[in-house]
Structure formats: C-alpha cells, structure tokens
Amino acid sequence: MPESITFGTGTVQYHYKARLTDLKDIVFKEHCVIVTDSTVASLYPELESMYPCIVIPSGEEHKKLKTINIIIEQLLEYKAHRKTVLLGIGGGMITDITGFAASVYMRGMRFGFVPTTLLGMVDASIGGKNGVNFGLQKNLVGTIQQPQFILFDTDFLSTLPALEWSNGFAEIIKYGCIFDAHMFETLQKHQLEYYHYNHPVLDTLIHKCAGWKNKTIQEDEQEKGLRKLLNFGHTAGHAIETLYNLSHGQAISLGMLLACKVSEAVTGLDSEVYYQLANLLEQYKLPSALTLHPDKLMDILAMDKKRNGNEVDYIVLNKIGSASIQTIPFDVIRTAIENFPHAGNH
C-alpha cells in the first residue's frame, strides 16, 4: 500500500519497496510519457516499449532551459495534454527537469518520479523542488510543485556505479548531521558495502531519510524557514560543485565540513565533530579535503539566492543531530575557506 503525504501544493503517494512493473497499476499507458536520459535508456531499453519516451543526453550540463524546450517540443509531438502524466525515470537531474517541464507545460500537468540513483531516492526526487541551472547558478530557475507519486525500486541500484553510491550517502550523512544523531552513529558502525548487499536495511534507511525530508517540508514547503535546514553543506557545496567539477555528493561532503568550521566560529560547535564527520565521509568513500580558492568561491557565493547584502543565510550545526539557520557575514565563510584542509593534508 502506498503511503500518502499531503503538502500545500498537493498529495504525494510514496510507493516504497516497489518494482517498476507496479507502474501499470498507477498510470495507464495512453496517459503517460517518460522522460529519461541516455544512460538509463541504454541500461533499461524496456522503458521505451512501456510508454512513449523522451530521451535526453546524460549529464548535469544538460540541466538547462534548452533541454526544457526539447521536452516541450516532444510533448507537443506526442499530443500530450494536461491529463497526461509526465514520468521522470532517472537521477536527480531527470526528476528536477521533469518536474519543471510538467509544472510549466500548459500551465501544469501531472507528473511522477521513479528515481534510479540512491541520491534520487533519499533526496533529489522528494520535496517538490523542480528546476534547472542557469549559468554558474544551480537551480536558479524553477518551481515548487509536488509530484503525484514517487516509486522506489531499489533494483535500479544494481547498475549504479560506485561513485553514485557514495553520492547518495553524502545526503544520508547530512540527515544524520542535522536531524538524527542515532542515524549518524549507526552509519559509523558500518561500511558502504553493508548497505550495498543488504537491501532490507537499505529500504529502511531510504524510508527514514524520506521521512525526515517530508516532515520538514510539510512544515515549510515554500522554504521560508525550517526547510532551509536541508541546505546544510549546500551553500558552499553548490559553489564547490560548479567550480571544481565534482559530483554532487563529493561537493556536499566538502560543504558540510566547511559548515562545521563555520559552526565552530558561530555556534561554538565542538571541534571534534569536524573530525567525526571527516572520518565518516572517508568511510563512505567521500572526500574530506580539497585545495580551495577563496576568491573564486566567494565570487560564486556572492550570487547566492540566499544572500542579503554582505551576509547569507547559512546552516550551522549546534551538535550532531541539531542544526540551525543563521545569517552569517561573508568574511566568516571566507576565513573558514582559507583555513580549510588542502588536498593531501588531512
């Protein structure tokens, strides 16, 4: 049975421990169009025989308005209408652009997601944020609109590259940092391979992460306050991702560590937390050091959506399992960047 959760912009059905074949009970073939990328389409050629399919090139560089135009042109060719369901099957890039295209096509059509990456299952597909990048700015153009449903099929993870497993665990570790000290401690006791080969435990972990995110978004769907906590590690992380061409999980890992250094200055966070987090990230094959360039990073941060003059809303840790939103002067962030461990020095 699906789990239904109601938000301000709609009710979402969460189909946990499901299989792709369950789609036939959720959407009818004549009312559905799939959006996926070339990587997923090549791994799962059966998708193109299930429903009409729009295949776009893989890669974050295609998460832009030009791709939305391509999707809309193909929707017109398929004679899609407002009662058609647009179904995003893929990682976070696919679910982001599918939700955005669906939100603007004919002023709004129905949509659903089948995330195929761990990052998508625990974070990217959940919460109703849809959008594209613009220039150097991540997710600058977008909407907040909930999908009708999300189907979680962990069989997709069997084809997931090792890097993508680590990417997903960056966001899982984030939930532990800001909400759940017990989850953080549990992660410390295991290795990535434990979850790789133990699907029942992984299913439970995915459900728990989705629960934390949904609880936060139910209270603050439009990101006026509490939802900002989910940006822990992301303010600097997005800038690092853009500047150093890292994966999302790698960049967010470094962003979380940088946020710990900022937190030491702002909330008096125990310096031991930084080392606990660095060790945990390394345990899940994520980076804990990088030679950062303060001027270049600060130039990108200066364009951040959350900026207010010479300050920016920043998520800081009080302790593991507890975070807060504070307005931080840019010079505090710059000092943390200047003192950040260089690659090879940690």
Q: Which helix (H) or strand (E) holds 32?
A: strand 32-37
Q: Do residues 330 and 186 lie in contact, with contact meaning Cβ atoms separated by under 8 Å? A: no
The active-site residue, picked from 133, 231, 241, 261, is 231
234 is catalytic: yes
The active-site residue, picked from 62, 110, 138, 248, is 248
The active-site residue, picked from 227, 228, 241, 261, is 227
107 is catalytic: yes
User: What is the b/e burial string over 117-154, where b = at least 16 CB atoms within 10 angstroms of the residue's CB?
Assistant: bbbbbbbbbbbbbbbbbeeeebbeebebbbbbbbbbbb
The active-site residue, picked from 185, 223, 282, 311, is 223
77 is catalytic: no
207 is catalytic: no
The active-site residue, picked from 164, 171, 221, 241, is 171
Residue 185's alpha-carbon distances to 190, 206, 235, in angstroms, are 9, 16, 25
110 is catalytic: no
The active-site residue, picked from 63, 174, 234, 261, is 234
The active-site residue, picked from 15, 62, 110, 129, is 129
Q: Which two tokens stand for residue 190?
A: 């295991």
238 is catalytic: yes
The active-site residue, picked from 62, 238, 241, 261, is 238
| Three-state SS at 137 | strand
Q: Do residues 145 and 195 lie in contact, with contact meaning Cβ atoms separated by under 8 Å? A: no
Residue 255's alpha-carbon distances to 92, 214, 287, 314, in angstroms, are 19, 23, 10, 11
223 is catalytic: yes
| Three-state SS at 292 | coil
231 is catalytic: yes
The active-site residue, picked from 66, 83, 107, 224, is 107
Q: DSSP letter string over 178-247?
A: HT-HHHHHHHHT--HHHHHT-HHHHHHHHHHHHHHHHHHHHH-TT-SSGGGGGGTTHHHHHHHHHHHT--
Residue with tokens 């647009």: 86
Cα 61 to Cα 73: distance, rounded to the nearest angstrom = 20
Cα 7 to Cα 126: distance, rounded to the nearest angstrom = 12
Catalytic positions are 107, 129, 171, 213, 223, 227, 231, 234, 238, 248
